[in-house]
Amino acid sequence: MQEKELLPHLFRTEYSKITAVLCKLLGFEHLDVAEDIASETFLSASELWGLKGLPENPAAWLYTVAKNKAKNHLKHRSVFQQKVSVQLSQAPASEIPEIDLSAQHIKDSQLQMMFAVCHPAISVESQIGMALRVLCGFGIEEIADAFLTNKDTINKRLLRAKEKLREENIRIEFPPAGEIPGRLEAVLRTLYLLFNEGYFSASHDHSLRKDLCLEAMRLTFLLTENEATHKPAVNALLALMSFQSSRFEARTDDHGETVLYDDQDTDLWDEDLIQQGEYFLNLASEGNTASKYHFEAGIAYWHTIKADTPEKWENILQLYNHLLTIEYSPIAALNRTYALSRANGKTVALQEAKKLALTDHYQYHLLLGELYTGVDNVSAHNALEKALAMSHSSADKKIISQKIQQLTGKD
């Protein structure tokens, strides 16, 4: 990998590790300092590597420079006096705290940071933004693109979140054993939403969307490697992410346009990710409690089955039935009705759809358009026109317009 490609890659993989370790050392109130040191480390790399060439071990070079910069900071800035003055009074003047950038300490620091930035003291939206910035190393512009907003909005959101975490005196540490289940639930929700931000994003930045998904998977995988957080719901979420990601390349065409499920080229599905999903879904079966992630992972699994059989859609339907009993959502209800149409026919599904009466959702009218097609094309056309008028995404508008054109051609 050449320098131009290597440095951005290392920034994505190592920036968050360095930040987590330094923030754990300095305290959350000095998160900005930790980020500055990490940024200065990469700035030094960009300046020196171009002149002297790549070091033998680039990642180790970054860790060494980060350590040195942190030591200098501890020696010359007020943080040093606040944090270790007591130690210094009892130790040789040259002795400073060890800055541990070992693989295990990095993992522990990132996990503890994950619990800190997913603290319920800040909003869910801020948790996702903090996770992208601190745990994933995303730049402000990238985060703004992910949220389809501007840099000023993101900067203000992150600033408020940091101030709130400082006010609440949030520590970068594992919660007490008794609190882990509840706190883990918030972490999983944030990772789930982070993944969805990439997988279902309206952004046409394909690489950004994929990076969001990969980072969510990486952080979820970290949870599986720690005994305290290696729980069935974690494995179920990682299985869900794996199954969904397996179809990532098939979801858009060469022009970046959305390809609907029935039209996807199944040869583009990633079999390795499907097998990974099956592995973690099997692990998730341990225990007596099923989370929403279990049922969503099961639904995603059946969507990786290429054969279009009644059994497939019946299984998807039953999983939606279970999902809706533990957590209702309008989208899940609409998806359940579509599965019902594939399993038992459009007539039965239309009766169920009308009961939902989700007239404020454009997806509801889109579903009615799909169900009425071939049964009552006039009603199908009216429903699709309503969906088109209510949708805001250009990608959705294009899909709905195509469906209207196809329907018109049938008349």
Residues 262-310 have pLDDT tens digits of 999 999 999 999 999 999 999 999 988 899 999 999 999 999 999 999 8
Residues in the chain: 411
User: Amino acid letter at 221?
Assistant: F
Contact 19, 38 (CB under 8 A): yes
Q: Is 168 helix (H, G, I), strand (E, B) or coil?
A: coil
Mean pLDDT, residues 253-260 taken together: 84
Burial 71-101 (b: 16+ CB within 10 A, else e): eebbeeeebbeebbeeebeeeeeeebeebeb
Q: Which tokens hold the place of 59?
A: 């990642």
Around Cβ 202, how many Cβ atoms within 10 Å? 12
Using CA of residue 365, residue 370, residue 376, residue 377, what is the dihedral sign? positive
Place of tokens 């990608």: 395
**Contacts for 155-164: CB closer than 8 Å, 24+ residues apart:** 157/125, 157/126, 157/129, 158/126, 158/129, 158/130, 158/133, 160/122, 160/126, 161/117, 161/122, 161/123, 161/126, 161/127, 161/129, 161/130, 162/31, 162/32, 162/130, 164/121, 164/122, 164/126
Residue 258's pLDDT is: 83
Q: Which tokens hold the place of 48?
A: 């020196």
Q: pLDDT tens digits, residue range 317-346?
A: 999 999 999 999 999 999 999 999 999 999
Residue 268's nearest CA partner among 247, 254, 240, 245 is: 247
Tell me how far apart the alpha carbons of residues 377 and 162 are, in angstroms, rounded to a whole number. Answer: 54
Residue 205's pLDDT is: 65
Q: Percent of the chain beyond pLDDT 90?
A: 65
Contact 133, 16 (CB under 8 A): no
Backbone angles phi, psi at 252, to 5 degrees: -135, 150
Q: What is the mean pLDDT of the chain?
A: 89
Residue 91's pLDDT band, with cuts at 50, 70 and 90, is very low
| Poorest-pLDDT segment among 54-58, 63-67, 166-170, 205-209 | 205-209
Residue 147's pLDDT is: 80
User: Amino acid letter at 365?
Assistant: H
Beta bridge partners of 258: 252
Q: pLDDT tens digits, residue range 230-252?
A: 999 999 999 999 999 999 999 98
Listed by start position, the domains of the chain span 1-100, 102-200, 328-411
Q: Which tokens hold the place of 207?
A: 């690489």
Q: Which tokens hold the place of 187?
A: 């972490």
Contact 234, 251 (CB under 8 A): no
Backbone angles phi, psi at 78, to 5 degrees: -65, -30
Residue 94's pLDDT band, with cuts at 50, 70 and 90, is very low
Domain 102-200 has CATH 1.10.10: yes
Beta bridge partners of 252: 258
Class of domain 328-411: mainly alpha
Tell me how far apart the alpha carbons of residues 95 and 93 are, in angstroms, rounded to a whole number. Answer: 6
One fold for 102-200 and 328-411: no
Residue 198's nearest CA partner among 143, 239, 155 is: 143
Q: Report if pTM > 0.75.
A: yes
Q: Is 223 helix (H, G, I), strand (E, B) or coil?
A: helix
Residue 347, Cβ density class (10 Å: 0-12 exposed, 13-18 middle, ≥19 buried): exposed
Q: Is 85 helix (H, G, I), strand (E, B) or coil?
A: helix
Q: pLDDT tens digits, residue range 144-159?
A: 887 878 999 999 999 9
Tell me how far apart the alpha carbons of residues 171 and 8 are, in angstroms, rounded to a whole number. Answer: 30
Using CA of residue 56, residue 4, residue 15, residue 235, what is the dihedral sign? negative
Tell me how far apart the alpha carbons of residues 306 and 347 are, in angstroms, rounded to a whole number. Answer: 25
Tell me how far apart the alpha carbons of residues 231 and 183 are, in angstroms, rounded to a whole number. Answer: 13
**CA end-to-end span of the chain:** 56
Residue 211's nearest CA partner among 1, 9, 3, 394 is: 9
Contact 21, 109 (CB under 8 A): yes
Residue 161, Cβ density class (10 Å: 0-12 exposed, 13-18 middle, ≥19 buried): buried
